[in-house]
Amino acid sequence: MKLIVSILLLLSGVYMKAQKVFETKNINQADIKVLVVDNSYQADLKVYKVTNSTMADVNRGKWFFTNQAVTASKRIYFTSSAYNADLKIYYVNYESLAGWVNKEKKSLFN
């Protein structure tokens, strides 16, 4: 019985790591400060916005924007300054193009 409970807890933790993000308007509440760039070559991460939370992928650039901070894996603040940004993203139109460009920044979502 303990083994089954342990496995269920472990599996639920895997699903909680999906990239569900919440946009905060307060920089002090943010886990990550994000700058949206104009060109893909400037980005650390290419992001594809998904319309359903089940489509969000575990740290692969598929983001679902949630309306509740408590359901998000990360709270992000969009900044207009590259100097203040922890992460630079570029929105892509196709799911297959999403992913990390700068893998050193991947740890921001762990």
Instruction: Please report, in tens digits, the pLDDT of each residue of the chain (110 residues total).
Output: 555 544 444 444 444 345 899 999 999 999 999 999 999 999 999 999 999 888 877 889 999 999 999 999 999 999 999 999 999 999 999 999 999 999 999 999 88
Rg (CA), the chain: 15
Q: What global pTM score does this model have?
A: 0.81
Tell me how far the alpha carbon of residue 81 is from its chain's centroid: 19
Report the alpha-carbon angle 32-73-91, nearest 5: 60
- Determine the pLDDT at residue 56: 77
Max distance between CA atoms of the chain, in angstroms, equals: 53
Domain ranges of the chain: 18-109
C-alpha to C-alpha distance for 59 and 16, rounded to whole angstroms: 11
